[in-house]
Amino acid sequence: MQNRIAKGKYGYFDAARREYVITRPDTPRPWYNYLMNDSYVALISNTSGGVSYDKDPTLYRLLRYRYQNVPYDRPGRYVYMRDNNSDEYWSGCWAPVHTDIAKCKYECRVGTGYNIITFTYKGIKTQVTYFVPQDRQLEIWDLTITNISKKVRHLSTFSYAEFAFWGAMRDLLNIDNCPNMSLQEYMKGAIIHSSYNDIGTGLDNMNFVRHYGYHISSEKPYAYNGDRDHFIGNYRDERNPIVLETGKSTNYCKTGGYPIGCLEHRFTLRPSQSKRIIYQTGIAKNEKSVFTDSRKYKNHANVDRAFMEVKGGWDERLGRFKVKTPDKEFDVVVNSFVQYQASMTMRLSRSISSYEWGMSRGMGFRDSCQDQLGMMQGFPKHAKLIISCLVEALYPDGSAAHNSYPLRNRYDRAGFYDDHNWLAITVCRYIKETGDFKFLKERLKYVGIKKKGTVFEHLLKCNNLAWKLRGKNGLMQTGHADWNDSLNPGDMESESTFTSALFCVSTKELIELVKVIGKKKLVDKLQKRYDTIKKLLNTSGWDGTWYKRMIRTDGRILGSKRNRSTAKIFLEPQPWAVMAGVISVGRAKKMLDAVEKYLGCEDGHRVMDKGFDVFDMDDIGSVTVIPNGIKENASVFNHASSWMIVAEAMLGRGDKSMEYFKRMCATTKNMKPDIHEVEPYVACQYISQKPFHIVGRGRNSWLTGTASWMAVASMQYIIGCRAEYKGLRIDPSIPAKWKGFYLERVFRGIRYLITVRNPQHVSKGVKYIKVSGVRIDGNLIPYRKTTKPINVTVVMGMQK
């Protein structure tokens, strides 16, 4: 099946294994993956570079990563090879030695929770499997070396892990103290990296805690190197360490210096003979626990089992939504990386990537709310945990801390008035998926006061606040900015059509919830609010063919056909008005056609038809510091672009919806890697457009709101399988040419085997559904408890 999906210059999708296989190491930029459990997180590039940390990337960094470096992904988890006869050396991850690619064979399998790098050079094949087991704060590098030459080979391997001095800021700024205070030592085969980390808040409040990290191997080392300067040598770098050149390990690991974990193993391999070495790099409580913690994974069978657990865990979670359609490209991305990326953002927010330093952003309120929407069925418990943190990031007046750091009890309020509107959407989605109505009654904190309130009370406070924060025309005020962070004109009271449409979606969700839990009076009150904003959007907010973007306090309009020097149309409010149900279908179709006409392009839809060219911080905002055609300034900002897929699906235009999905999806990017540059297998934040000098360049991959929305768009709107309070809604919006599709979906523990037939070749509309052979009215499969899989047949077609 996967063979029919075209291969790209640097790699291809292996559908059966849910992997992207990188076939050459010199990708346009490093291409990353995440290896993690609930505590330990490792970012790893296709040549093994990247940071790692435990729990909190600000305080507990284990492996160092030099941002803005050349090459980008240094240092890494290297495994050097050395031929002790020829004195030649290279690296099993290609980097950092960068052996001539014409002379070596390389492959990196980017998998769910692992990377497997295979490298062959001069008759020696190495394979390193990198992964993080689920039960320990460590990463495993599982190396097998095979002699595929015809000669006996005398070899050495040298591992390389460069330790950071824990606190990310300390590591960067405290250049004198950090290395001087390092307490590294070599003990019984382990390099122990230890030093005091100041987890206090400043000079007047220091709080030193001693941390321990280690690097250890399953086989007894022949020698070791515990100090970076001694290993690399003066005026050299990781590419040509003096120890690799001479073949003589230093056996030096003493306090005061830059600690590394480097173990040498020396051995002989006959032709066809293999050797396996398992390295562990991790965090321990103290010296003793270095040895107790690492005992389990010195054992090969335990490592094999742990790897299968990681793989099996992902297979199970991603297998809760598995689709087979006539479109192999759609299937390969939706069954693997669309879900995988959304699973990462829902847990990592914007914390750490090759663009995010892991310090500055904490948990973004609006981002994390949206991040939960895509993969709730895969990670309901994680979702609940994060949603609880978000609920507790509300102030007593219902406003949200735009960024919060729950581990450090830090909450930063910033006045983005869209924030509090997101929560209801997320909480309702959680209850729909899990049926956990009890959550509404849980009593959670507010920021800064002792008194707690139920989750439901929190939600009402958000809605009340939104209602209060209305402007002159009665629409929702923007505050500092709405979803578009950089459109921040400074007049907090300007009105945002985007936030107004968002309010309608949020209120609609709340109304549905309140109806289910039976609070009639509240329904009426919320309905009135919804109706009022709906009306205002279509009067004050309407520009004739589309919605305006912002109404300034002095009456000027952002995004209007009357504008000459600035944009006439902005993307964001248009698809949201469709989601909000505030516009008639006929009008909406014309509106989205206009969006396509003015904003549509090969990569998706641009944020606006004309970017800002003149710096104007006071009147427009920080979007004017961005070059025209990138980021929020008129690029295809993928997060917003993906809303068009949802909106078109809602209108039943399945062909358009799919076309827009394809513009943005991974298989498309895979065919233009040199222009796209960043990982093709996951979505990135934006794609540059004219007048920027490159059209189609991607930046800021992995941790973007696009992740969740591509999952929502494809799974919940194109395939149309949505969890609702009373069951599973099947409401596909597909290309008319599809004869149907097959879907497996696990919903509240029950596996539904759903066959959708489309004999009349419609894009939307379900004629009838049979559940276990019994015909039901409508397109909602009612939830009922059972342990057995349930067979469902859905027949699409015109309603009579």
Block residue for tokens 């983005």? 416
Q: Which is nearer to ligand GLC, 175 or 625 (CB)?
A: 625
d(CA 355, CA 684): 11
Q: In b/e form, how buried is each residue of 579-598, taking b as 16+ CB within 10 angstroms? A: bbebbeeeebbebbebbbeb
| The one catalytic residue among 142, 482, 485, 543 | 485
Q: Which is nearer to ligand GLC, 366 or 606 (CB)?
A: 366
Q: Which is nearer to ligand GLC, 195 or 704 (CB)?
A: 704
Query: Helix, strand or coil for residue 291?
Result: helix
Amino acid in position 542: W
Residue nearest to ligand GLC (CB): 485
Block residue for tokens 């919903």? 747
Sign of CA dihedral 600, 537, 422, 626: positive
Figure out which of the listed residues 198, 331, 509, 632 binds ligand GLC, where binding follows CB under 6 A.
632
Q: In b/e form, how buried is each residue of 171-185, taking b as 16+ CB within 10 angstroms? A: bbeeeeebbebbebb
Provide Rg for the chain, Cα atoms: 28
Q: Which is nearer to ligand GLC, 244 or 424 (CB)?
A: 424
User: 10 Å Cβ neighbour count for 787?
Assistant: 7
d(CA 309, CA 307): 5
Please state the closest distance from residue 617 (CB atom) to ligand GLC, in A.
16
Q: Which is nearer to ligand GLC, 218 or 403 (CB)?
A: 403
Give every CB contact of residue 28 below 8 A, 6+ residues apart in sequence: 10, 673, 674, 676, 677, 678
Figure out which of the listed residues 73, 238, 264, 367 binds ligand GLC, where binding follows CB under 6 A.
367
Please state the closest distance from residue 556 (CB atom) to ligand GLC, in A.
21
d(CA 367, CA 317): 22
Figure out which of the listed residues 611, 705, 720, 735 binds ligand GLC, where binding follows CB under 6 A.
705
Among the listed ranges 306-314, 364-372, 388-396, 459-467, the one in contact with ligand GLC (CB under 6 A) is 364-372
Q: Which is nearer to ligand GLC, 335 or 477 (CB)?
A: 477
509 binds ligand GLC (CB under 6 A): no
d(CA 686, CA 692): 13
Please state the closest distance from residue 703 (CB atom) to ligand GLC, in A.
8
Please state the closest distance from residue 560 (CB atom) to ligand GLC, in A.
21
d(CA 228, CA 3): 45
Q: Which is nearer to ligand GLC, 218 or 704 (CB)?
A: 704
Please state the closest distance from residue 112 (CB atom) to ligand GLC, in A.
24
Query: Helix, strand or coil for residue 514?
Result: helix
Figure out which of the listed residues 211, 366, 429, 669 binds ligand GLC, where binding follows CB under 6 A.
366
56 binds ligand GLC (CB under 6 A): no
Please state the closest distance from residue 608 (CB atom) to ligand GLC, in A.
13
CA 158 to chain centre: 33
Query: Helix, strand or coil for residue 55?
Result: coil
Q: In b/e form, how buried is each residue of 232-255, taking b as 16+ CB within 10 angstroms? A: bbeeeebeebbbbeeeebbeebeb
Give every CB contact of residue 736 below 8 A, 6+ residues apart in sequence: 654, 655, 761, 762, 763
Give every CB contact of residue 620 below 8 A, 6+ residues apart in sequence: 487, 489, 566, 612
Please state the closest distance from residue 358 (CB atom) to ligand GLC, in A.
15
Figure out which of the listed residues 364, 600, 611, 696 binds ligand GLC, where binding follows CB under 6 A.
364
Binding marks (x or -) toward ligand GLC, 671..700, rule CB under 6 A? --------------x---------------
604 binds ligand GLC (CB under 6 A): no
371 binds ligand GLC (CB under 6 A): no
Binding marks (x or -) toward ligand GLC, 342..361, rule CB under 6 A? --------x-----------
Among the listed ranges 183-191, 197-205, 445-453, 482-490, the one in contact with ligand GLC (CB under 6 A) is 482-490
485 binds ligand GLC (CB under 6 A): yes
Among residues 318, 429, 344, 373, which one has the least CA distance to residue 709? 373
Please state the closest distance from residue 642 (CB atom) to ligand GLC, in A.
12
Query: Helix, strand or coil for residue 95?
Result: coil
Q: Which is nearer to ligand GLC, 107 or 616 (CB)?
A: 616
554 annotated active-site:
no
Please state the closest distance from residue 559 (CB atom) to ligand GLC, in A.
16
Whether the bond between 71 and the residue before it is cis, its omega within 30 degrees of 0, is yes
Residue 585's φ and ψ, nearest 5 degrees, are -60, -45
Residues 104-133 that bind ligand GLC (CB under 6 A): none
Figure out which of the listed residues 10, 483, 570, 692 binds ligand GLC, where binding follows CB under 6 A.
483
Please state the closest distance from residue 500 (CB atom) to ligand GLC, in A.
16
Q: Which is nearer to ligand GLC, 19 or 609 (CB)?
A: 609
Beta strands 750-757 and 790-796, pairing class: parallel
Q: Which is nearer to ligand GLC, 350 or 429 (CB)?
A: 350
656 binds ligand GLC (CB under 6 A): no
**Positions marked active-site:** 485
Q: List contacts with ligand GLC (CB under 6 A).
A: 350, 364, 366-367, 483-486, 632, 639, 685, 704-705
